[in-house]
Amino acid sequence: MKRRQFIRAAGLGLAAAAIAKPAIAQSMPELKWRCTSSFPKSLDTLYGASEVFAKAVAEATDNKFQVQTFAAGEIVPALQALDAVTKGTVEMCHSASYYHVGKDPTFAFGTGVPFGLNARMQNAWVHFGGGMELMNEFYGKYGVFAIPCGNTGCQMGGWFRKEIKTPEDFRGLKFRIGGYAARVLQKLGCVPQQVAGGDIYAALEKGTIDAAEWVGPYDDERLGLLKVAQHYYYPAWWKGGAMLHNFINIGKWEELSPTYRSIVRSASERANAWMLAKYDAANPAALKRLVAAGTKLSPFPPAVMDACLAAAFELYHEVAALNADFKKVFESTFAFRNDEYLWWQVAEYSYDTYLIKNRVHV
């Protein structure tokens, strides 16, 4: 290329860059949001997902869109996070939908319901089974838009001071348990208690509650629950995979540009995958440590599981007869679950079952 042509071409390139730069800047304005979490910083996976999300948003926007995260209690208490978003006190929160079943039992499906979907099925239902559309149609009534942002996987059934041998052992038991399962256990005579994660240890220690469920070995060890209750039951039949969400004030969501909306979705998905992987990696070692420290690990007896299953579906049909939103989501969820298990029993279940029995050969 001749010298004059090169200089001219370089000049045109610089001019184009000068024109393009302001256009990019205009499409990515500076924003600062606040995100209140329903979890304390000590629970580094649950709270950590909101930090993973915020970091991903900042990195994708060259720090033009910043989300400052706050632990439970720093702005509002853990169980009031959604209300803060609805009122516009903060732009968004990271929370569990099922904390709000007192407003409407339909909220339970966003996190997980008794004998419902496992973590992978829930992700499939949300993304390809119409779950996200159904739930956001419902959440819109409360002024929020939700995006999945984390899943714990299947949880443990909780810590008890005494053994659970029969369904009658739930009668009169003050059990820290949230969501729809609390209403199921009421049918068995249980006395459910709503206690935030950071307050569970103190409540068990003082005897305010007799038992508590939280997440699984990794988090339960961090909360020190073995020190105040020794019987550790499994599984948490009340949620096969507890999904968390970013709940965003719907007005603030609609103000975002398409670019920023895409970034928020992508950052939420990154945190969603990160949380499940972190729990899957951390829970085995934590469970070994708990058992070595004296935890009495037991499955819920079949009679207990059967009684809870019967009570759950009795309640499902009672609520569905009175609540159209609940009925719509309930039917979608369980139709999807039943089809998924047709496939699961062929491949996933048979593969895992065989290797669980034969892992000693490695």
Residues 238-286 have pLDDT tens digits of: 999 999 999 999 999 999 999 999 999 999 999 999 999 999 999 999 9
What pLDDT, on a 0 to 100 scale, did the predictor assign at position 246? 98
What pLDDT, on a 0 to 100 scale, did the predictor assign at position 13? 46
Closest CA to 92 of 27, 39, 147: 147
Q: What is the DSSP string of 273-304?
A: HHHHHHHHHHHHHHHHHHHHTT-EEEEPPHHH
CA distance 78 to 36: 8
User: Is 240 in a helix, a strand, or coil?
Assistant: strand
Q: In what order do the strands lie in the sheet with 144-151?
A: 65-70, 31-37, 92-95, 243-249, 144-151
**Taking phi first (over 0 means left), then psi (-120 to 50 degrees means alpha), and beta for anything else, what does residue 70 get?**
beta
Structural domains in the chain, CATH included, are 29-153+241-281 (3.40.190.170), 158-238+291-340 (3.40.190.10)
What pLDDT, on a 0 to 100 scale, did the predictor assign at position 196? 87
What pLDDT, on a 0 to 100 scale, did the predictor assign at position 10? 46
Q: pTM of the prediction?
A: 0.90
- The partner residues of 33 in beta bridges, in order of sequence, read 67
> How far, in Å, are 159, 220, 282, 283, 284 from residue 217 at the CA level?
11, 5, 8, 5, 8
Residue 319 — very low, low, confident or very high, per pLDDT cuts 50/70/90? Answer: very high
Residues 170-201 have pLDDT tens digits of: 999 999 998 899 999 999 999 999 898 889 99
Closest CA to 61 of 266, 252, 275, 269: 266
Q: What is the pLDDT averaged over residues 29-47?
A: 96
Q: Is residue 204 packed enough to be buried (19+ CB in 10 Å), middle (13-18) or exposed (0-12)?
A: buried
CA distance 65 to 150: 21
Q: What is the pLDDT averaged over residues 303-308?
A: 98
Phi, psi of 295 (to 5 degrees): -65, 135
Phi, psi of 94 (to 5 degrees): -115, 115
Q: What is the pLDDT averaged over residues 143-160?
A: 98
Positive or negative, the CA dihedral 106, 111, 116, 119 is: positive
Amino acid (one-letter) located at 274: W
What pLDDT, on a 0 to 100 scale, did the predictor assign at position 19? 39
CA distance 16 to 91: 37
Q: What is the pLDDT averaged over residues 332-345?
A: 97
What pLDDT, on a 0 to 100 scale, did the predictor assign at position 9? 45
> How far, in Å, are 77, 94, 273 from residue 71 at the CA level?
9, 10, 21
Residues sharing a CB contact under 8 Å with residue 206, sequence separation 6 or more, in sequence order: none
Q: How many CB atoms lie within 10 A of CB 245?
A: 28
Q: What is the pLDDT averaged over residues 119-136?
A: 98
The answer to whether 215 touches 156, Cβ cutoff 8 Å, is yes
Residue 150 — very low, low, confident or very high, per pLDDT cuts 50/70/90? Answer: very high
Residues 262-275 have pLDDT tens digits of: 999 999 999 999 99
What pLDDT, on a 0 to 100 scale, did the predictor assign at position 362? 59
Quote the percentage of the chain above a pLDDT of 90. 89
Helices (H), the chain: 3-27, 46-60, 81-87, 108-111, 119-128, 131-139, 181-186, 200-206, 217-223, 250-255, 258-292, 302-320, 324-344, 348-358
What pLDDT, on a 0 to 100 scale, did the predictor assign at position 361? 65
Residue 103 — very low, low, confident or very high, per pLDDT cuts 50/70/90? Answer: very high
DSSP state of 118: B
Residues 4-35 have pLDDT tens digits of: 454 444 444 444 444 344 444 456 899 999 99
Reply yes or no on whether the pLDDT at 218 is more than 70: yes
